[in-house]
């Protein structure tokens, strides 16, 4: 068997391949993105980027109904978007095994919240499997498909950022495709009318009870006895942390199947140790259930409910062991994220930041950074698509309270296809005093340059029919769709003013490709400062480009970063900056 170094995400893709999966669908979102990015190497598997997580779940579940094994993947907040089909799929059951990968993000490294998606498994009444390293990611995916088919239910395959991105040695196996069952119409199982759902709910409860009994003996849950003084119940990456933090004579009950919890196994393990701890990240998901079963344990009262764990933190909070620290005598410089040099969004946000009496509602993506100093342009950022619909709510509220402000709603091109189209329809249908703006940089930027329905390429890198945003906006009712290059500040300003003053329903597309797209010839140049002209006014600093700095009272441009976009040159009042 070949041994390779794989991340957890890559191992999940390999496990799905070995398990005989035929259909995979996802919407990119850190920390889950690389699962689908690793799939095109397996030509036997159909894989795609879906417009959003709900669509991804529905495509994968449709394949399951047709009798083949399927998988959809998303980050934790994506499960919120996909919850509707997932909950119903749990009632209907599966034909081919169906896995939903949820990649949670403790400490919110790239997310707007820290929700613990283990609760989804309980709420939706489906199995949940949690690996703790790359080898388990591969092995547990294969076992999860078996569980899905054996107990007729979807499986929530829950990982965290550390499991997704950490790399370890993995032993690979061979692909084995289960016998394909011909599609058969089954209205009672697949049509979720109230009459069918009533019967299916009873079936779900029966299957859950059988799964719970299975959990007491299944190979995903294992006891590691080393002593009787301390016992630890744990799962996922918290197991790896706890193994490092607790003494060598600590016994462990490592759970891989965590919904439903194998309470008989836990009770038996607890009876063999003097002190029982439950070590888990985020919420007390396991601890609360264990205590409710009358089993004494400790955990969250010491560990807490916030952020990622690590071995040193566990040592400190459980045993009071303070880490040894070395005073280096210097403080690390704060380096907050910023829009890249040459980012096409910079000209748009600079333009909007200069406008008075406006509200600019933002969205999830690179353009969220338009909220950071010195631009300080955004007023809100809630969720995918919220740039339009949250803006609509603000517009209506200000209108009803007599506050005269102009509202602009912003989404990116990928977000427009994800959940912005319905927001655009909302604005038009309910006569919103808001101008929708799509920042089209021709890629899904923040998650690492995945294609979307507007880029003209699919997940395999093949040419695909591109959906034209301007045609969609016109179809939604916006007669005046203004397309503008956001790095042309005069044109950008005029586009905003034209949209404001137009008698037609207007929308704006600020279109310029991301400077990091490799397949585009960007014709980069470099900007330079004429020191004889520079008056040190710092106007160029106001555009927020990382390539610009002040040195000896004058501006200076780092040519290693500059792309020659000229936004800084356009704001210079004395023409001290020019493009080479």
Neighbours of 223 (CB within 10 A): 13
- Given this model, what pLDDT does residue 395 score? 95
Report d(CA 361, CA 380) in Å as an integer: 5
- Given this model, what pLDDT does residue 329 score? 78
According to DSSP, residue 380 is labeled B
Is residue 328 predicted with pLDDT exceeding 80? no
Q: State pLDDT tens for residues 68-99.
A: 999 999 999 999 999 999 999 999 999 999 99
pLDDT category at 289 given cuts 50, 70, 90 is very high
Q: Measure CA 130 to chain center.
A: 18
- Given this model, what pLDDT does residue 522 score? 86
- Given this model, what pLDDT does residue 333 score? 80
pTM over 0.85: yes
Neighbours of 362 (CB within 10 A): 27
pLDDT category at 375 given cuts 50, 70, 90 is very high
Q: How far apart are the first and last CA of the chain?
A: 56
Q: Are the CB atoms for 500 and 437 separated by under 8 Å?
A: no
CA-based nearest residue to 73, from 113, 104, 110, 41: 104
Neighbours of 304 (CB within 10 A): 12
Residues above pLDDT 90, as percent of the chain: 91
Q: State pLDDT tens for residues 399-455.
A: 999 998 999 999 999 999 999 999 999 999 999 999 999 999 999 998 999 999 999
pLDDT category at 324 given cuts 50, 70, 90 is confident
CA-based nearest residue to 440, from 410, 402, 471, 474: 410
Q: State pLDDT tens for residues 514-537.
A: 999 988 888 889 999 999 999 999
CA-based nearest residue to 406, from 509, 508, 477, 544: 508
For β-strands 434-440 and 506-511, DSSP reports them as parallel
- Given this model, what pLDDT does residue 280 score? 97
Report d(CA 522, CA 509) in Å as an integer: 20
CA-based nearest residue to 77, from 512, 439, 383: 383
SS3 314: helix
Is residue 274 predicted with pLDDT exceeding 90? yes
- Given this model, what pLDDT does residue 88 score? 97
């Amino acid at each position: 068997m070949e041994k390779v170094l794989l991340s957890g995400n890559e191992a999940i893709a390999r496990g799905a391949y070995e398990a005989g999966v035929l259909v995979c669908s996802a919407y990119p979102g850190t920390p889950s993105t690389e699962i689908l990015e690793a799939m095109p190497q397996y030509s036997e598997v159909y894989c795609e980027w879906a417009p959003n997580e709900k669509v991804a779940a529905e495509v994968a579940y449709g394949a399951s109904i047709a009798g083949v094994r399927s998988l959809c993947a998303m980050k934790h907040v994506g499960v919120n978007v996909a919850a509707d089909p997932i909950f119903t799929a749990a009632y209907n059951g599966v034909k081919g095994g169906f896995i939903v990968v949820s990649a949670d993000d403790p400490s919110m490294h790239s997310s707007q919240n820290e929700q613990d998606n283990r609760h989804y498994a309980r709420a939706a009444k489906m199995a949940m499997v949690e690996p703790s390293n790359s080898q388990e990611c591969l092995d547990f995916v294969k076992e999860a498909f078996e569980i899905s088919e054996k107990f007729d239910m979807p499986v929530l395959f829950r990982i965290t950022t550390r499991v997704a991105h950490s790399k370890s040695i993995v032993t690979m196996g061979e692909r084995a495709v289960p016998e394909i069952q011909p599609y058969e119409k089954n209205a009672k199982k697949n049509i979720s009318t109230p009459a069918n759902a009533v019967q299916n709910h009873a079936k779900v409860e029966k299957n859950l009870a059988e799964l719970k009994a299975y959990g007491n003996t299944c190979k995903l849950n294992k006891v590691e006895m080393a002593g009787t003084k301390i016992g630890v119940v744990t799962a996922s990456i918290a197991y790896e942390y706890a193994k490092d933090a607790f003494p060598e004579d600590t016994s462990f009950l490592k759970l891989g199947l965590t919904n439903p919890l194998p309470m008989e196994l836990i009770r038996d393990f607890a009876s063999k140790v003097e002190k029982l701890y439950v070590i888990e990240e985020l919420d007390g998901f396991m601890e609360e259930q264990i205590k409710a079963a009358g089993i004494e344990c400790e955990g969250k009262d010491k560990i807490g409910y916030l952020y990622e764990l690590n071995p040193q933190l566990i040592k400190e909070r459980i045993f009071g062991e303070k880490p040894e620290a070395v005073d280096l005598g210097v403080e690390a410089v704060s380096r907050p994220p910023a829009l890249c040099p040459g980012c096409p969004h910079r000209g748009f946000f600079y333009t909007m930041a200069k406008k008075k009496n406006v509200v600019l509602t933002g969205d999830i993506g690179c353009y969220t950074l338009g909220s950071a100093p010195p631009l300080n342009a955004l007023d809100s950022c809630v969720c995918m698509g919220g740039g339009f619909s949250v803006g609509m709510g603000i517009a209506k509220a200000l209108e009803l309270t007599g506050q005269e402000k102009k509202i602009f709603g912003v989404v990116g091109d990928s977000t427009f296809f994800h959940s912005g189209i319905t927001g655009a329809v909302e604005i038009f249908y309910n006569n919103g005093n808001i101008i929708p703006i799509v920042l089209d940089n021709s890629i899904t930027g923040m998650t690492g340059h995945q294609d979307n329905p507007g880029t003209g390429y699919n997940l395999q890198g093949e040419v695909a029919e591109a959906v034209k945003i301007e045609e969609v906006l016109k179809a939604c009712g916006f007669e005046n769709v203004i397309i503008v290059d956001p790095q042309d500040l005069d044109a950008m300003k005029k586009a905003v003013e034209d949209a404001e003053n137009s008698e037609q329903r207007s929308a704006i597309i600020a279109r310029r490709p991301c400077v990091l797209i490799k397949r585009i010839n960007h014709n980069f140049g470099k900007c330079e400062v004429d020191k004889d002209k520079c008056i040190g006014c710092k106007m160029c600093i106001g555009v927020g480009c990382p390539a610009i700095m002040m040195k000896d009272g004058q501006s200076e441009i780092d040519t290693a970063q500059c792309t020659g976009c000229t936004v800084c040159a356009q704001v210079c009042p004395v023409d001290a900056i020019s493009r080479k």
